[in-house]
């Protein structure tokens, strides 16, 4: 009896988690699109991902500096050495499931990498690119 209930709960979770992830992405896209009705492009997102920016230390950096070139694998923060889970939602089901986390990491990582906060256009392009991985 307990096994049957456990299977039902697990089945429901398998259905709900991807829907929840899609919901957070949909919310993010709606927020970034705003009243400007922006359109987002995966190619622009990829170009932004690999673009080099000057760091405060004089060294160039890009998103790959910490996240790596293969986004289906984990990365490592160059300053702290802290491991970073894969960015590709196809291998990391936790990626992009909470709007609050999406915003937190955009704010922190854009400031460190670009030297400023990302625009809504950039955020939408980044997410369009990353969500297809």
Average of pLDDT values for 9-30? 63
Residue 15 has pLDDT above 50, yes or no: no
Q: What is the pLDDT, as a whole number, of residue 35?
A: 85
Which domains occur in the chain, in start order? 2-131 (1.10.760.10)
If DSSP codes are grouped into helix, strand and coil, which group holds residue 112?
A: helix
pLDDT digits (tens, 9 = 90+) for 40-75: 999 999 999 999 999 988 999 999 999 999 999 999
Split at pLDDT 50, 70, 90, the class of 9 is very low
Q: Which two tokens stand for residue 57?
A: 């230390």
Rounded CA separation 20/40 (Å): 21
Average of pLDDT values for 15-24? 54
Average of pLDDT values for 16-29? 70
Which neighbouring-strand residues pair with 76?
83
pLDDT digits (tens, 9 = 90+) for 76-116: 999 899 999 999 999 999 999 999 999 999 999 999 999 99
Q: Identify which of 29, 25, 3 has the alpha carbon closest to the alpha carbon of residue 124.
A: 29
Contact 127, 63 (CB under 8 A): no
Q: What are phi and psi of 116, to 5 degrees?
A: -165, 170
CA 44 to chain centre: 15
Question: Degrees (nearest 5) of the Cα angle 98, 62, 94?
Answer: 20
Q: Which two tokens stand for residue 59?
A: 């060294």
Lowest mean pLDDT, pick from 8-12, 27-31, 92-96, 109-113: 8-12
């Amino acid at each position: 009896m307990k096994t049957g209930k456990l299977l039902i709960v697990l089945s429901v979770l398998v259905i709900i988690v991807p829907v929840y992830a899609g919901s957070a992405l949909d919310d993010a896209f709606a927020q970034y699109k705003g009243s400007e009705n922006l359109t987002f492009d995966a190619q622009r997102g990829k170009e932004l991902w690999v673009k080099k920016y000057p760091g405060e230390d004089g060294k160039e950096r890009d998103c790959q500096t910490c996240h790596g070139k293969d986004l289906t694998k984990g990365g490592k923060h160059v300053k702290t050495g802290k491991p970073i889970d894969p960015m590709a939602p196809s291998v990391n089901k936790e990626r992009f499931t909470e709007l609050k986390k999406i915003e937190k990491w955009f704010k922190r990582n854009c400031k460190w990498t670009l030297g400023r906060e990302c625009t809504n256009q950039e955020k939408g392009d980044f997410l369009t690119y990353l969500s297809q991985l």
